[in-house]
Amino acid sequence: MVTPANELSNYVGLERYLLLSILGDGAFSIVYKALDKQTDTHVAIKVIRKLELKANQRISILKEVQLMKSLDHESILSLCGFLETLEYYFLITELCQGGELFQQIVHLTYFSEDLARHCIRQVAEGIGYLHEVKGVVHRDIKPENLLFEPIPFLARVDPAPVQPDDEPKVDEGRFVENYGGGGIGKVKIGDFGLSKIIWDEATVTPCGTIGYTAPEIVLRQNYSKAVDMWALGCVLYTMLCGFPPFYDDDDIDILTEKVARGDYTFMSPWWDSISNEAKDLVAHLLCVDPTQRYDIHQCLHHPWLLGQVKSRKAGHQQKALTLFF
């Protein structure tokens, strides 16, 4: 629900910006869509209530800001500015009008291989920049932290016929290489609150979201940038079939055990029509042994990601599995 502009709060220090609507909120923050009156561009402003934070939480936010200031890549959400008052932190970022990729997966149920490749390649390129250029491990790659720019719906000229046993699915339309489809254009990595500069070192701090967390983290072992590759595999799996590789509705301990063992399958019938090459990339990313898991270079040069194999087209329907993740 969009909050009317005349009901939004006014903040000392944000006179340059016109707050337009609330995009979301958290325990200590509110995110607004705003207009930068100096540049006539839309931005997102995260307003964080400082007085409700502990000292270590304030330090974490300032570290996140310093890190984001150093990043410059088309697949990374840009920090446009940072302001601080006695009561608030203001993080001003570019606005991705489409919102979270998570919501688009829910909307479309799953992605065609072309659309999944389009999205995951951009995320992988962003991770490559973080890992190879900045020495940064993100530690929280998941669909909720991937944002996208919307594009117009493009009707398909040769839709595949729907089979009698196919489940209903929202039509993602025609896919255009280097442009997108399913309403998704550019994809960007956001939320660097758990990110850390480690280069080739190891770290041990437990963090992340359990369904996308690598085995070495849940086992409280030292871990490296390889944890982002595991999470990328989880995201790709989710895009292709519409549900995550590791889930348990009721028991977090069982879910943790599944992650630790790498206990997932390419479930039939949901994966029956997905190419072996796509499954091969997922399998190399969801490798329990981080030393054998694909690194970002291997991922970016995989034949499936390079588009060198024939993929399931957007018109093909498959059964839908309803999960809340």
Phi, psi torsion values for 31, nearest 5 degrees = -110, 125
For 287, the 3-state DSSP assignment is coil
User: Residue 269 corresponds to which tokens in the numbers above?
Assistant: 């019938």
Q: Is 140 a catalytic residue?
A: yes
Q: Over range 227-253, report the average pLDDT.
A: 92
All domains of the chain, ordered by start, with CATH?
A: 5-94 (3.30.200.20), 99-300 (1.10.510.10)
Q: What is the pLDDT of residues 264-283, one digit of tens each?
A: 999 999 999 999 999 999 99
Catalytic residue among 114, 140, 191, 228: 140
Q: What are phi and psi of 227, to 5 degrees?
A: -65, -30
The binding site consists of 50
In degrees and rounded to multiples of 5, residue 146 shows phi and psi of -110, 125
Question: Annotated binding residues for ATP, as ranges?
Answer: 50
Nearest alpha carbon to residue 211 among 194, 229, 230: 230
pLDDT tens digit sequence for 206-237: 777 888 999 999 988 999 999 999 999 999 99
pTM of structure: 0.90
Q: Count of CB atoms within 10 A of residue 198's CB?
A: 16
The model's pLDDT over 82-133, given as tens digits with 9 standing for 90+, comes to 999 999 999 999 999 999 999 999 999 999 999 999 999 999 999 999 999 9
Whether the CB-CB separation of 138 and 189 falls below 8 Å is answered with yes
The number of beta carbons lying within 10 Å of the beta carbon of residue 159 is 14
Q: What is the DSSP string of 16-44?
A: TEEEEEEEEE-SSEEEEEEEETTTTEEEE
